[in-house]
Amino acid sequence: MIERLKVRLAYQRGFQVVDGSSVLETFAERDDAFRFVLGKGARVWLAWSRTMIGGQSPPFDFTASFQQDAVGRILKAVSGPGAGTWFWTCYDGGARGTVATKEEAVVGVERAYTRRLLGADLPR
């Protein structure tokens, strides 16, 4: 089963769903591309970068983007009772959680964003 698929802008044609270097399908509307991804039992593969705050990049802090819009964030707790755990949040809708690994945090944001955009629900 495919876990993640990229949705990218297809100039003057809408949006393409891509698996690696293969275009799976092209859609006129973004939501139709997301529905296709959900139909495959996958989540949208977001772009990840270091979080920048005041020109500084805090350690263990990453921002998720789709089409250049920030849509979520993950960060590692470095002190306190939750030290070593990862917090994740999806900005739209407020879904959030705390998990053991960075990979689980990425999954949390990508699932939440995919669900939120369509009002759908993915199995956990």
The residue ranges of every structural domain in the chain are 1-45, 47-124
- Predicted pLDDT at 1: 59
pLDDT interval class at 69 (50, 70, 90): very high
Neighbours of 118 (CB within 10 A): 14
- Predicted pLDDT at 93: 81
pLDDT interval class at 121 (50, 70, 90): low
d(CA 85, CA 74): 10
Higher pLDDT, 93 or 51: 51
- What's the rounded mean pLDDT across residues 30-37? 94
pLDDT interval class at 122 (50, 70, 90): very low
